[in-house]
Amino acid sequence: MVARTRRQQAALSEGAESPVGNGTAETPKKTSSASKKEVKENVYLFAPNLIGYLRVVLTIASLYYMPLHPRTCSILYSVSCLLDALDGYAARYFNQSTTFGAVLDMVTDRCTTACLLVFLSSAWPRWAIVFQSLIALDMASHYMHMYATLSMGGSSQSHKAVDSSRSWILYQYYHSKVVLFICCALNELFFIGLYLLSFSSPTLSPSLLKPVQEAVGGETGNPWSAGALELARANKIDSFWPWVITGVSAPIMALKQIINVVQLVKASNWLVEGDIANRKALRGKKN
């Protein structure tokens, strides 16, 4: 009995020391249960994304005030644009850079600018085709660039990761935070200047000088017509500073449109390169 007990004790001790013994068999179970209890991150509540939601709210508020309240609209719109730089800083500071945040940022930018250009199209119908073309160029350029980056560069690659060999001007635009901020800020400032001029400059809107009844179409005119809206906007603010803002920012706005064209062309060429490579690979498999 004593010998048997000793053998049993020896076997039990070997089992306890063995890597496949009972002592270690429970370890994976504890590890797996611990991994299940790991806290899942909520990307929607990341700091830069919360800033993005605030930008959306401010943009909607600015659109509400846009028809008749230029000062309030300009302040809300400008704050929304300035927060565009803050969300990028927050993403780097908190290490919360995400694909969702990048797309949210870009979509907000494109929609915000497009809404302002739509208003300018209604303010100056004769120039509507120019503003419509700017909307189309802005949307197409950024969509093509984003799609080319994701499909050719990989889903994890940022749209700002532009190689200098592909485009020198795009490399400078996306890799220098100063250049990117100045181009985006002054581009928006130019359109804000035009927006303010629609409230104050008879030079650009001669109908602002017309008598009330003539502007709205006579006594039976529609108070909700474009003429009535222009009259309501008339002489709300002085035109000096809007002209200064528009004149100073005009060269940068023009540069931004050139960058949009280059971005559209380069993204198209990159996608075509991928098409050619894919077709060549398919022909090689058939042969």
Handedness of CA 126, 131, 132, 133 (dihedral sign): positive
- Burial of residue 190 (CB within 10 Å: 0-12, 13-18, 19+) is buried
Specify whether the backbone of 95 is left (phi greater than 0), alpha (psi in -120 to 50) or beta: left
Class for domain 43-200+236-267, per CATH?
mainly alpha
How many whole angstroms separate alpha carbon 64 and alpha carbon 37? 46
User: Among residues 109, 138, 163, 275, which one is catalytic?
Assistant: 109
If you average pLDDT over residues 146-162, what whole number do you get? 79
Q: What is the pTM (predicted TM-score) of this model?
A: 0.78
Q: What percent of the chain has pLDDT above 70? A: 75
Residue 198 and residue 200: Cα distance in Å, rounded? 6
Can you give the pLDDT at residue 208?
A: 55
pLDDT tens, residue by residue, 12-27? 555 444 444 444 445 5
Q: What is the pLDDT of residues 75-106, one digit of tens each?
A: 999 999 999 989 989 999 999 989 899 889 99
- Give the closest residue to 146 by CA, choosing from 284, 29, 263, 23: 263
Q: What is the pLDDT of residue 29?
A: 52
Tell me how far apart the alpha carbons of residues 158 and 102 are, in angstroms, rounded to a whole number.
8
Q: Which two tokens stand for residue 170?
A: 């795009």
**How does pLDDT run across 194-213, given as a tens digit for each residue?**
999 988 876 776 655 555 44
Q: How far is CA 105 from the centre of its chain?
A: 3
- Residue 37: Cβ within 10 Å count: 6
Q: Write the pLDDT tens digit of every residue in 42-81.
A: 999 999 999 999 999 999 999 999 988 999 999 999 999 9
Cβ atoms 136, 229 nearer than 8 A: no
Question: Is 109 part of the annotated catalytic residue set?
Answer: yes
